[in-house]
Chains A and B, each alone.
Chain A
Amino acid sequence: MTDVIAFDHVAFRYPEAESRHGSVSPWAIADVTLTIPAGAMVLVVGPSGAGKSTLLRCINGLVPHFTGGTFVGRLEVMGLDPIAAGPETMCRHVGFVFQDPEAQFVMDRVEDEIAFALENAAMPPPEMHARVEEVLARLDLVSLRHRPLVTLSGGEKQRVAIAAALALRPRILVLDEPTSQLDPQAAEELLGFLARLGETSGLTLVLAEHRLERVLDFADLLVYVSGGAAPVIFGDPASVLSQVDLAPPVARVGKALGWSPLPVTLAQGARFAVDAMAGRKVDDALLRRDRGDEGADQQAAARPPILEAAALQVAYGDVPVLRGVTLSLYAGEVTVLMGRNGAGKSTLLKSLIGLVRPQQGHVWLVGRDTAGVAVAVICREVAYLPQDPNALLFADTVREELNITLRNHSLEPSQVPVAPDALLAELGLADKREAYPRDLSVGERQRVALAAITVTHPKVILLDEPTRGLDYAAKAGLIELIRRWRAAGLALLLVTHDVELAADVADRVLLMVEGRIVADGSPWDVMGHSDLLAPQIARLFPDAGWLTAEEAAAALTNAGDGTT
């Protein structure tokens, strides 16, 4: 088998690092040596900021040609040296798909977007039209060809981006976290699509991805980038995962129970799961008590809800978005709202805080109707984290972001129960107080935004897609934070596509379909048997009642009371 990509002791550092820190600049990637054979599907994983994107951008010469900086080592792609050839030449051999499909669109219609690379390559028009037809058919986009890009769904947009990258018939397709903006079903579809594409066309696929559980099924090889000076770990998925502390739930259970060889996909784990469950009887009642679901309904009857909405109806123009939504949030309870893109989840959150005023229905905050109350007033009690926390941040320092919120509410730092500095320390940002917020990592930026909205000490926290773009470490930090808020008696409502997050933190799960809440119950009741929403552990041990790796491992090691 021929290798199409060969890294030989490659290292790279960005130019800013050189000027700002003098000679002790950190390497974005250090000492990468790996080879990728033709036709392989390669998964690049690792924490955010570890250099995954940098590694991918070397393959088509964007690094160092677009970024500047210092490149060391040898790199060969399709027999060419991308460092010498540059992206102008490499674009014929390497297609590149970026994280955010919208940020990479140049034109505004599907066909024109695909033709853009061909126009640049000065392809004669008859051939160009044939090529566009071919790519449209291959990516199943024929029916969308005339559509404006803004009217497409996230999955469709990413397919157009792939089509545009494949127009020049490259032999290698590089994708930088292509599913991070998609809901689970769209992500699943896209990845399945990529796997088929790889099989039928012999394309070499190199894919960076945060959510391992989605992609391991399709991967032939795994590259683990840990950042800093540590060398990359490279090999088949099972051997790499056994060396790193980063694994999908099935592998975590496998590690805890000593399964060997370590299963990394559901198919591989199923055999062990059947053995482990043989002869076991699951005590359902015990399990429910462990998860703290017991008597949730009685609790609800006894205590008044903090935030309550009844029969909310919202329409944008003629399009109804919420068709009569009723929900209650209680102190010390984490409610998770799930559903496909466009189901109305974000609109529901916005209508709870008055950013969207419902045409019908009411919202009560601690028993008070919020109709006609200014958003600014509601948000002192109800913190809301929008999907893109960047929209919040504009101050020069992290501490200033908190002060701005307080000034907006005409509060002195001494008037809030937790002083801003203490709050930052609580959120693990103590040493970032003077940092420029937009220089921070995705996870840190989200924490700054959270600090900026919770500094008023609200009673309710609403989070819209909080795990988007977070790596495993940042996600674990967020889960801990959510649990802490829950223990402090706050009411939390999370909108998320992340079934593993829901399994980890939810007390109650709501499922929304086309503007209505169609399911409302304990996590197991709503997610356990769902084709779409079941987390990996529920799929691995159907009917056992476990949702997370920790639960399953604890129960299977026969620890007496099975708590984690």
Chain B
Amino acid sequence: MHPLAWLVWLGASAVATLAMRNPLYLLLLFAVIYVVTDVIRGAESGRGGATTASTDAVTEPMMLPVSPIRFALFAMGVGALINGLISHFGETELLRLPEVIPLLGGPITAEAVVYGAINGMVLATLFATFAVLNVAVPTRDLIGYLPRAFYPVAVVSAIAITFVPNTLYQLRQVREAQAIRGHRMRGLRDWLPLFLPVLIGGLERALQLAEAMTARGFAAKGAAAPAAHTADIARFASIGGLAAVLVGGVLRLVPGAGRWSPVLVVGGTLLVAWAIWRSGRQVNITRYRRARWTMGDGVMVVGALLALVPLFLWPATRDYSPYPRLLWPSFDTRVGLALLGFLAPALVLHLARPPAQGERQ
């Protein structure tokens, strides 16, 4: 699926999560996201199953560090605990801590506990959303969509992606090497024998890589080297654009001048965009990998955006507060059904997967 379609899905889902406090909606959204994660994982393992990994290298595919469900339970538990102990509002008293304990002393209320748990839930849903992105779109695909002006940044980021697992592998080797000469972890100073070889080795590798990239024409100044003045124009344009956006923002606070603000903000943004595009044209490269926009991507974007609409059309049940007295949250069926729109990627992936593909590889 197209990385940009995923970004739209991510944005919509994050907006929905942050816009609501209704635990029923949150729970529904979390369940929807979890289903999407599950379907993607199924698709991934069907695709990359036949790799003959060497046992020594770090070959684990991109996996989630923590299961979203476990994280949700943790976040809700911690949220409930902290808010319950600290916030003493609410009418339904569960127990009472002695008033002499500073901060914690006083009534522990069900309302405070539920409020904390809901906050934890918001966090967990956001986490699950980003976890989906992590599994669905390799970071390098996203990097490919950085504007051309930032090409060196893109390459450096691409290297960083492989650098992290490499460094972890290196760290493991160094730890073993130090263990065999009797090294034991006793204090802070004992980190030095692990840290120094990894750091020095990392620098040496960086130098080798830089050399290899030079040998393959990275950052080559081709025939179309940018003339100094065009680079200057782009620079002034981006500075001017940013300044305009800033002034526009400040003007909103000035009584009477508010109507100029949108003009400056929009104009400044356009100027910056032009500057980026302009300096991108000076970077003389082409891209190998371009994802194609498919029907499925369209379905996904439409589904995600449609899911947002009822949330703002009928905002009555969007917000929920347990204070002052715990009540069952209301549920608008229209909003609930719309949230199912976030299932679009799961549906598309499920339909797009030919059943025999897994066996063929």
Contacts and interface: CB of A to CB of B under 8 A. Distances in A.
Interface in B5-62: 51-59
A87 B214 contact: yes
A117 B289 contact: no
A141 B217 CA distance: 23
A394 interface: yes
B353 interface: no
B197 A393 contact: yes
A404 B289 contact: no
Interface string B263-294: 00000000000000000000011111110000
A346 B56 contact: yes
Contacts of A453: 180-181
A74 to B, nearest CB: 22
A125 interface: yes
Contact of B197 (A105, A148, A391): A391
Interface stretch (B76-84, B94-102, B200-208, B342-350): B200-208
Contact of B288 (A98, A100, A128, A321): A128
Interface stretch (A8-16, A197-205, A261-269, A374-382): A374-382
Interface string B181-208: 1111000000011001100110001001
A108 B161 contact: yes
A129 B288 contact: yes
Given A391-B173, A438-B200, A355 B179 contact: yes
Contacts of A66: 210-211, 214
Given A104-B209, A107-B140, A117-B216, A408 B183 contact: yes
B218 interface: yes
A380 B182 contact: yes
Contacts of B192: 394
B51 A122 contact: no
Interface string A118-152: 11111111001100100000000000000110110
B217 A91 contact: yes
B155 interface: yes
A373 interface: no
Given A104-B208, A150-B58, A165 B184 contact: no
B179 A375 contact: yes
Nearest to A393: B197
Contacts of B54: 151, 153, 341-342
A151 B286 CA distance: 27
Contacts of A36: none
Contacts of A405: 181-182
Contacts, number: 185
A80 to B, nearest CB: 15
B333 interface: no
Contacts of B166: 102
Contacts of B289: 111-112, 115
Contacts of A374: 184
B290 A125 contact: yes
Contacts of B290: 125
A185 to B, nearest CB: 15
B261 to A, nearest CB: 41
B146 interface: no
A103 B140 contact: no
A480 interface: no
Contact of A132 (B51, B159, B200, B288): B288
Contact of A120 (B178, B180, B217): B217
Interface residues of A, number: 76
Interface in A81-122: 87-89, 91-92, 96, 98, 100, 102-108, 111-112, 115-122
A379 B59 contact: no
A370 interface: no
A151 B208 contact: no
Contacts of A91: 215-217, 220
A232 B57 CA distance: 40
B181 A452 contact: yes
Nearest to B222: A122
A98 B180 contact: no
Residue in A116, A390, A394, A438 with the greatest tally of chain B CB atoms within 10 Å:
A394
B337 to A, nearest CB: 39
Contacts of A452: 181
Contact of A409 (B158, B161, B182, B210): B182
B357 interface: no
B288 A376 contact: no
A106 B197 contact: no
Nearest to A374: B184
Interface string A378-415: 01100110101011111000000000110011000000
A148 B192 CA distance: 33
Nearest to A385: B180
B197 A60 contact: no
Contacts of B53: 151, 319
Given A103-B205, A342-B54, A98 B212 contact: yes
Contact of A408 (B52, B182, B200, B221): B182
A144 to B, nearest CB: 10
A106 B51 contact: no
Given A104-B208, A106-B155, A125-B288, A379 B217 contact: no
A77 interface: no
B179 A104 contact: no
B93 interface: no
A353 B288 contact: no
A164 interface: yes
Contacts of B178: 391-392
Given A108-B162, A147-B51, A390-B197, A355 B58 contact: no
Given A88-B220, A151-B59, A355-B180, 14 more contacts: A106-B155, A112-B288, A119-B285, A122-B285, A122-B286, A125-B290, A316-B55, A319-B53, A379-B179, A386-B176, A391-B173, A391-B176, A408-B181, A453-B180
Instruction: Name the 8 nearest CB pairs between A and B, nearest first.
Output: A408-B182, A88-B220, A115-B288, A104-B212, A391-B177, A394-B196, A91-B217, A103-B208
14 contacts: A102-B166, A105-B162, A106-B216, A115-B289, A122-B284, A122-B285, A150-B165, A151-B51, A168-B217, A342-B55, A346-B56, A391-B174, A394-B193, A453-B181
Interface of A: 60, 62, 65-66, 87-89, 91-92, 96, 98, 100, 102-108, 111-112, 115-125, 128-129, 132, 147-148, 150-151, 153, 164-165, 168, 316, 319, 321, 341-342, 344, 346-347, 350, 353, 355, 374-376, 379-380, 383-384, 386, 388, 390-394, 404-405, 408-409, 438, 452-453, 456
